[in-house]
Structure formats: structure tokens, C-alpha cells
Structure 1
């Protein structure tokens, strides 16, 4: 006999909600030929001078091996530029190109309009509460939570 769960399936709930939200933005990105991963990078780089790949991984939640391929495609499409650092040739800075900047500036009004439609549907207060809870959770020290001991 299995126990009744004490808590909802939080990871599944978060994934389902993420899918519902991203499904509202995906058609915009698809229209402009940009993947979700590329958009995350472009949106972050648009408002920064440059970032190292490690910073992009941390900020945009990428695993390092998958980032290399995404950046290579973006560089081939002239959306980003990679430049070796003079102080350490092993390190690379990534910056958005004029084409990438123009793309973000073209897409952002549609993204803002979609946010407004979401807000109109679920309510400003609900959206604000959701963002506040996510901010608090994002700022939490998750490393401080111990992991359950696994059976041997």
C-alpha cells in the first residue's frame, strides 16, 4: 500500500506552469527564427557589454556542453561575437552584434505585449504575487537544505 503524498509534485507543477507560460512566447520567437535558448542569451547580452560563457551558463541556466553549440550557431548567424581576452587567451568574451541587438529591439515590443495579455488574463495581482514568490525562492540558499539520506 502506497502512502498518500504529503506535498504536491512541486517539480512537475513548476514544469507545467513553465510550459504554459513559454507557450505564449514561443510563437513570437519562432516567427523570428530564434530558439528559447538563443533568446535567453540575446536578452541578457543586449543589456550588458559582454559576458564570459561561464557567466552565461549561470545567468541563463545552461549546461556548459550545450552552450558551446548554441553560441556557435548564434555566431554563424551573426547574432553574437566571441573575442579572446588579451589578458588570458583561454578565456572568451561574448557580446551581442548589431544584428542581435536589432533583433532584440524588434522582438521586445511583442514580448511586452504578450506579458500584458498574460497580466490581463491572470490579473496584475496574481502575476505580481507569482513574481514575488519566484524572486524569494530564487534568492533562497538552496544549498542549505540537506538532502535526504539514500538507502544503501
Structure 2
């Protein structure tokens, strides 16, 4: 047994993590996300939207009226951040916040007409970015990647087996 104050050997290091961060899955996923977001950020900035605000608007546009906790879950936003985003989007007239009919503690969110207008404005630009991705990588490759990422995102569900 090794004393706790000694550094791991090279063999121990190899067992713990890849030697090259380019082969680290979490880092590779972050790099890929950043590469994609550099395409989307200018479009969002032109509409005075942050990435997180757009995710909230997209989720509400796709699903309709939702409980705030479900929006946070679907948009991958932490509750404290969502509170700030809701306030901003409400002040801009893009979303409506109401108390739940049966449970006054629930916060229900929905898009306003102005929120729907923003989606209609941004969607064609977003589709152009997706079209350029498909032109570069192919629709089948993107569909396969999305399927694989969906499988990977289910890693923590159940036994963790992919």
C-alpha cells in the first residue's frame, strides 16, 4: 500500500485518466459545444438574447405552459439562474408568469405573443446554421450523433450501463 503523500505512478495515472486531454470525453464534449455555440451566439446577441434565455424560450415554444421546475430541467438551467432569467424575460414581455391554478406555490410559465414573435424571428436564422451543419457533416451523421448523445445522457439513469 502506498503512503497517501506520494504521487501516483505513471501506471496509476494511466488507469485514472487519458494522458491526452483531447481524448477526454468531458473535455471533448465541451470543445464541441463551444464550436457549435460560436455559430449561434452572434445570432442570439443580434436578438439581445443569452444562450440560457433562448433555451427557456425554446422549451416554452416547444412545450407550451410549463411549471418553472420543468423548464429548468428541460433547459438545463439551475433554479437560481432560472429565477433571474424569468424576471428578465418577463420584464421584456416575452414570457408570462402565473401561479398554478390548483397549487399556488407552483410558478407556471408561458410565452407571450412577443415571445412567439422572437421565435419566429430567430428560427429561420437558426435553421440556416443547422443547414450549414448538415451540409458539412450530413443529415445522417448528425442524426446518429444526436442518438449517441441521447444514449450518453441516459448514463446516470438506472444502472449506468449504456
CA distance in 1, matches of 2:139, 2:108: 38
Which has the higher relative contact order, 1 or 2, with Cα contacts under 8 A spaced 6 or more apart? Answer: 1
Corresponding position: 1:112 with 2:127:
yes
Matching residue of 2:79: 64
> Size of the alignment, in residue pairs?
146
- Tell me the TM-score normalized by structure 1: 0.87
What is the CA RMSD across the aligned residues, in angstroms? 1.9
Matching residue of 2:5: none
- Tell me the TM-score normalized by structure 2: 0.82
Corresponding position: 1:41 with 2:56:
yes
Q: Is the 8 A contact 2:65 2:110 kept in 1?
A: yes
| Aligned 1:1-152 pairs, distance under 5 A | 1-2=9-10, 3-4=13-14, 5-6=17-18, 8-145=23-160
What runs of 5+ residues in structure 1 fail to find an aligned partner? 147-152
Q: Name the larger-Rg structure.
A: 2
Change (3 A) 1:114 1:69: same
Residue 85 of structure 1: how far off its partner (Å): 1.6
| CA deviation string 1:11-49 (max 9, x = no partner) | 111001000011111111011101100111111111333
